[in-house]
């Protein structure tokens, strides 16, 4: 009822002297008491285009918990008619603007993360890669924050492959993507293709810690020698990586061992060969 009442307030705001305060109180009554970790709110919300009218009002006010109330209404399962995440996709400019909001409550953080997950990378293309990456860096998402890990795996990969500016995504996410890839590499292999551009810009930018993570992702998801991915290009990047970060070889082996145990498959024979060749090349270069 509170959700429908919000729409009525906005539609008839000319007749209310302090319609914004009434709107915010209605949101608070309807959603403040709900658990932001619960996907299902147990009630049926009807989302229509009219509800978009009060989205800007809530965000422009900039009150953390009121924004969280609204996001809870638009992200909980069980809503009908116009899907809430479809409406959210038209409001990404407001969402990325939250990266500058203080204070940023744990409840708001949780619901922004859910909103980003529902919208996906494509929905944020209109606001610019840098703004979206700044929001992600601000959120510092963990696997415990995710409702569906595979959605985040694709979102992060799509973000990385969208622009060279993706190198500004914090190292945390590169490591997180390694973990997500080890968990479900086949799904990622079907959903996305290998991008040599990422290998190129990380190498040229000398982003060795991120390149280490990216090589782990490549071997887990798109093992060289398959699907047209050449060992030569990966071998060269790994040689440079091992020269700068000798410990990277051990980390890559540990990731592949975990992948092998999780999926009851042997690591590709090419992995040991390329690792050995890259280590030998790095040692020769160091002399």
Question: Is pLDDT of 72 > 90?
Answer: no
Whether 165 is in a domain gets the answer no
pLDDT score at 81: 43
Number of domains in the chain: 2
Whether 164 is in a domain gets the answer no
94-110: average pLDDT: 87
CA distance 248 to 119: 34
Q: Which residue has the higher pLDDT, 170 or 79?
A: 170
Whether 224 is in a domain gets the answer yes
Whether 245 is in a domain gets the answer yes
- Of these ranges, 37-46, 95-104, 220-229, the one predicted with the greatest mean pLDDT is 95-104
Weakest mean pLDDT among 25-39, 81-95, 113-127, 173-187: 81-95
**Cα dist. 118→72, 103, 151, 206 in Å?**
12, 24, 8, 33
State what percent of residues in the chain have pLDDT above 70.
81
* Mean per-residue pLDDT over the chain, rounded: 82
Whether 163 is in a domain gets the answer no
Q: How many CB atoms lie within 10 A of CB 23?
A: 24
Whether 157 is in a domain gets the answer no
Which pTM value belongs to this model? Answer: 0.84
92, 113, 147: which is the final residue of a domain?
Answer: 147
Weakest mean pLDDT among 12-16, 20-24, 92-96, 212-216: 12-16
Identify the band that residue 229 occupies on the pLDDT scale cut at 50, 70 and 90: low
Please provide the DSSP assignment of 124-186 as one string: GGGG-HHHHHHHHHHH---GGG-S-HHHHHHHHHHHHTT-GGGGGS-HHHHHHHHHHHHH-HH
Nearest to 122 by CA among 212, 30, 191, 31: 191
216-230: average pLDDT: 78
Q: Are residues 32 and 127 in the same domain?
A: yes
3-class DSSP state of 77: strand
Q: Are residues 33 and 142 in the same domain?
A: yes
Look at the alpha carbons of 153, 154, 156, 157 in this order and tell me if their dihedral is positive or negative. Answer: positive
- Of these ranges, 86-95, 190-199, 217-226, 256-265, the one predicted with the greatest mean pLDDT is 256-265
230-258: average pLDDT: 86
Cis-peptide into 103, omega within 30 deg: yes
Nearest to 244 by CA among 195, 203, 215, 197: 203
74-82: average pLDDT: 61
Q: Are residues 128 and 215 in the same domain?
A: no
Domain range for 44 is 1-10+18-147
Q: Are residues 181 and 279 in the same domain?
A: yes
Q: Are residues 142 and 174 in the same domain?
A: no
State what percent of residues in the chain have pLDDT above 90.
29
57-71: average pLDDT: 85
Weakest mean pLDDT among 13-17, 76-80, 195-199, 252-256: 76-80
Q: Are residues 182 and 223 in the same domain?
A: yes
């Amino acid at each position: 009822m509170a959700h429908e009442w919000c729409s009525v307030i906005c539609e008839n705001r000319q007749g209310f002297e302090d319609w914004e305060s009434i709107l915010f109180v209605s949101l608070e009554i309807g959603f403040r008491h709900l658990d932001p970790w619960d996907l299902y709110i147990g009630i049926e919300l009807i989302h229509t285009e009219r509800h978009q009218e009060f989205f800007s009002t809530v965000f422009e006010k900039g009150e953390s918990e009121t924004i969280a109330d609204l996001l809870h209404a638009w992200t909980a399962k069980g809503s009908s008619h116009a899907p809430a995440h479809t409406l959210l996709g038209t409001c990404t400019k407001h969402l990325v603007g939250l990266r500058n909001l203080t204070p940023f409550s744990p409840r708001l953080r949780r619901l922004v993360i859910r909103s980003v997950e529902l919208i996906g990378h494509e929905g944020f293309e209109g606001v610019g890669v840098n703004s979206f990456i700044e929001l992600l860096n601000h959120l510092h998402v963990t696997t415990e924050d995710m409702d569906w890990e595979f959605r985040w795996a694709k979102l992060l990969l799509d973000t990385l492959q969208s622009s060279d500016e993706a190198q500004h995504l914090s190292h945390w996410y590169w490591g997180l993507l390694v973990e997500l890839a080890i968990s479900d590499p086949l799904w990622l292999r079907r959903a996305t293709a290998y991008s040599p551009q990422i290998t190129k810009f990380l190498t040229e930018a000398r982003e060795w810690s991120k390149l280490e993570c990216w090589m782990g992702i490549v071997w887990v998801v798109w093992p060289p020698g398959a699907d047209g991915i050449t060992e030569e290009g990966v071998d060269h990047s790994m040689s440079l990586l091992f020269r700068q970060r000798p410990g990277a070889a051990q980390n890559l082996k540990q990731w592949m061992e975990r992948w092998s145990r999780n999926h009851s498959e042997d690591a590709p024979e090419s992995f040991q060969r390329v690792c050995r060749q890259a280590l030998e090349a790095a040692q020769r270069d160091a002399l």
